Structure formats: C-alpha cells, structure tokens
Structure 1
Amino acid sequence: MVTAALASLTLSDFSMKMRMFSAGAMALALSSCGSAPQTDPRLGSVATQVIEIQVSPKVNNDSPVAVDAVLVYDATLYDQLLQLPARDWFAKVEQYRLDYPRGFDVWRWEVVPGQVVQPQLLPDTVVQAIGMIVFADYFAPGDHRAAVGATRGIRIYLLDKTFAIEPFLPPA
C-alpha cells in the first residue's frame, strides 16, 4: 500500500511535499527562539546571610583597604565582573551604577589594619541574586576578586597583600 502511494506521487508532488515539510520544520524551530524568556540557571544561587571580616594588623602595607561585597542580579553584568580586577571595579563602580541601576547592590567597608569589624547581616533579597563577588582594593598587584559560592556565611580574611574567603555556617 505504501509503495502504491509512493508510486502515484509525481516528482513535482514529492518535491512540493518536501518543501512544505521543510518549511514547517523551520517554522517550528524558529518559533522556539522567541518563546518565553529563559531564566538564568544561576538565579537564586546566593544564600549568604552574614559576612564577617577579619583584618590583619599589617593589611595593605599598613594602610586602609576598601572591601566591596557585590550582589549581582544581571547575568551580563555578573559575567563582566567575574573578569574585572578590583582596581577597575573601584575606579568604575559609579559608572556601573549608571549603566545597571538595578543590576547590583554593594556592601562596602573601609577598614584599617587590625580593625575589628562587626558581622554584617544581609537582607533576604540576596536569594534573588545571580551571584556575589567580593573585591578588595589592595596596593599589591593582582585581581583581588573572588566569587562567593552558595553558603550561608562567609569570613573575609584581609591578609597583608591579598585576601581569602572561607564559608561558615552561622548560628541559627
């Protein structure tokens, strides 16, 4: 029966059916391109509730150091900031505020050597962020930037020439 149906098709009919099939397949493929917006798989990956900072007595050649914890809500901005050295972040942060007015929030500290810093509680809105990046404005060469993973608490250790981040579980 199938052979009889195929035999009755002329070359022109077959060609026409193939073109219609191809056009339909193409339309289906293209329709998925403009479908509902895709959410970023990283969205909601921030769980940090508290930030603690410990400062070395010899931090930054015995000089103050600025530290920014940046909660990022815009995927394009997040990818840009992951490539940005801290020196550039601190030089351009005001321009980023103009370019991405709702793209990020910043918690900033300016600390001096040996300073005791009280823990900083973050708002519940952190769960809406794509990611968190910490920048420290050291004199020493280096990127002085770190992405923070999904952890409820972080300790930032401001060492002499660089910094380190350690996750911890804050008390409930």
Structure 2
Amino acid sequence: MLMFIKKYSFMVRCVISAMLFLIITGTFFSCGTGMKIRSLLGGRLQVAVKISEDANQNHPVSMDLVFVYDEKLMEELLKLSAKEWLEKRDQIKRDHVEGKGLDIWGWEWTPGQEIPVQELPLNANAEAALIFADYLSPGAHRIRVDPFKDITIRLLKDDIFAESSQDK
C-alpha cells in the first residue's frame, strides 16, 4: 500500500507540474502578453522600412527613431517637427543621458532602396517612440508609435506612415 501511495503521489506531482507549465506558457504567448513582457523586461524590436520609388520627391530621406524614457522630454519632443528635431538633436543629446533620457537610431535611405528588417535593443523604461523623417515637403513628418510593438514604416512621396504590429 505504501508503494502505491508513493507512486501515485509522484504521478500527481508530474501531472500538476505539466499543467502548470502549459498554463504559464500559454499565458506568455496568448492575448499579446509577449508584448507586455517586452514592456517589463525590454528585449528586441523589429523595424521594417519600405521606401517608395518616389519617396521625398526622389531625394534621400534621413530618419530618426527616438526612444524616450522621460515623460517631460517626451512632451517637449512631441511639439517639434522633423526639421526642428534635426536642428536641435545634437543639443538634446548633450542635455540628456543616452539610455536614460532617450536613445536615437538614425538612418538615411534613398528612394526605392531595399532595407533589411532592423532589429534594435529595447529598454523596458520607454515612455514613447517617435519617428522623425526629413522631407522636402511641408509638414511635421513626426509620428508617435508604441515602443513595445514591432513597427512597419513607409516612406512615401510626401510623408511618412507607420503602423505597429497588433497584439495577437
């Protein structure tokens, strides 16, 4: 009888452990929880960029993706157009510690260029992510995106468009 109880209790523990594993794993990969984990722990962010053949009226496009970790700084940056950002960027970088106030990823691309997906390190403390694109046409050319969702950016003829991945 004692052998039966020991064997039975071992099997019960195995079944309970397997069920807990399935519940925990299912929780992490359902209902967008993976994105929520990114916001707690950081990780990697995928940025896909598509550039039209006539982007920026057939001129190269400079673009910055800015991760902002300070709410007050975020409010200031939301008031800037891309042109103003480019004029003030160096001073803003000097005024704020990289990795604490903000992180900046910058590129310059030509119309029609094929861009591989960019994979960027993600700091878990981001308040927001802003994209600034230097266009010849008038406009703010600034977009705020969710810093914890992968992004697809489209550089079009006269403006920029971005969309974040959806929670699954």
Q: Same fold (TM over 0.5)?
A: yes
Partner residue of 1:135 out of 132, 135, 140 = 132
Partner of 2:87: 91
TM-score by length of 1: 0.68
Structure 2 counterpart of 1:73, one-letter code:
Y
8 Å contact 2:129–2:147 — kept in the other structure? no
Consecutive unaligned residues of structure 2, counting only runs of 5 or more, are: 1-38
Partner residue of 1:49 out of 25, 45, 51 = 45
8 Å contact 1:48–1:150 — kept in the other structure? no
Deviation per CA, 1:61-98, whole angstroms, max 9, x where unpaired? Answer: 11001011000111111010011100000111000011
Distance 1:92 1:65 in 2: 18
1:151 deviates by 4.8
Q: Does 1:104 align with 2:102?
A: yes
Partner of 2:163: 166
8 Å contact 2:67–2:104 — kept in the other structure? yes
Task: Give structure 1 regions of 4+ aligned residues with deviation exceeding 4 angstroms.
Answer: 44-48
Distance 2:78 2:55 in 1: 24
Between Structure 1 and Structure 2, whose CA radius of gyration is higher? 1
1:149 deviates by 2.2
1:132 deviates by 0.4
Task: Tell me how large the CA RMSD over aligned residues is.
Answer: 2.1
Partner of 2:115: 117
Structure 2 counterpart of 1:165, one-letter code:
A
Structure 1 residues 124 and 86, CA gap change in structure 2 (3 angstroms) = closer
Distance 2:150 2:117 in 1: 10
Counting matched residue pairs gives 126
Distance 1:70 1:157 in 2: 17
8 Å contact 1:151–1:168 — kept in the other structure? no
Deviation per CA, 1:118-159, whole angstroms, max 9, x where unpaired? Answer: 11112142x211110000000100000010025521100000
SS at match of 1:105: strand
Consecutive unaligned residues of structure 1, counting only runs of 5 or more, are: 1-43
1:53 deviates by 0.3
Partner residue of 1:71 out of 67, 71, 78 = 67
Distance 2:73 2:128 in 1: 10
